[in-house]
Amino acid sequence: MVLNFSECTLARLDKTFSLKQIRTSPVSENWLNGEAGISDFESQALLRFREKLRLNVYDWNEAELAYNFIGPLIALADYTTDKFNFFAERPFGGVVGDIEMRGKPDGMIASGFREPEKPYFCFHEYKREKDPDGDPAAQALAPMLVAQEISEYRHPIYGCYVRGGLWYFITLEKKAYCISEGYLATRDDIFDIFRILQVLKQIIIMLTENE
């Protein structure tokens, strides 16, 4: 059986893989509440990004949202190192249980420089604010399940999905996953979103050092 990421729903993943959604976990709390400084340059850039999002969020399609807001925010967080990098729309897949899963995540942070090797973070950019379809949480969680298999369950897997201006952060530990409340990027939450992205970088650095 082959299951494409785009076909996934939380109900289907829960039933197929015996998953359980939990309200919170130490891993999720440590990520969402972790500390990271924001420089004056970064603060000014975030204010500009926020203003552009406020003006356009209801009209941008998914590509415009990615190019004009999500991409610059990810670039500002800067995940390019000699041990890991941010990759977009790369073919990715694996076997979970006895089911082959595959697709092209909108983004992932993985070991490797030119090609993704071992993913730590899977990102799904949802559709535009108006007339969305699909299940974005499941479409982020599905590649996280594959990433967990690749890592041989040695550490939690992190993820995120975006719906218009709302960002949701996901953690996966074995059969349990946690989805945060939404952070609204058109408000001061944008500083929390950026802080969480920076904390993620700290976490991935620690993971790569321990391997």
Task: Using DSSP, state whether 78 is helix, strand or coil.
Answer: coil
Residue-averaged pLDDT of the chain: 93
DSSP secondary structure code for residue 203 in this structure: H
pLDDT at 191: 98
Give the DSSP letter string of 158-184.
EEEEEETTEEEEEEEETTEEEEPPPEE
DSSP secondary structure code for residue 210 in this structure: T
pLDDT at 113: 87
pLDDT at 140: 94
pLDDT at 155: 95
Question: What residues does 171 pair with on adjacent strands?
Answer: 158, 178
pLDDT at 88: 94
pLDDT at 129: 47
> What does the pLDDT profile of the chain (211 residues) look like in tens digits?
899 999 999 999 999 999 999 999 999 999 999 999 999 999 999 999 999 999 999 999 889 999 999 999 999 999 999 999 999 999 999 999 999 999 999 999 999 989 999 999 999 976 554 445 678 899 999 999 999 999 999 999 999 999 989 999 999 999 999 999 999 999 999 999 999 999 999 999 999 987 7
The closest of 154, 152, 124, 120 to 139, measured between CA atoms, is 124
Token duo for residue 149:
């298999």
pLDDT digits (tens, 9 = 90+) for 52-89: 999 999 999 889 999 999 999 999 999 999 999 999 99
Exposed / middle / buried, residue 138 (Cβ in 10 Å: 0-12, 13-18, 19+) = buried
- Into how many domains does the chain fold? 1
CB 49 within 8 A of CB 72: yes
Between CA 24 and CA 14, with CA 28 as vertex, the angle to 5 degrees is 60
**Domain enclosing residue 195, as ranges:** 2-209
The pTM of this model reads: 0.94
pLDDT at 122: 94
pLDDT at 133: 62
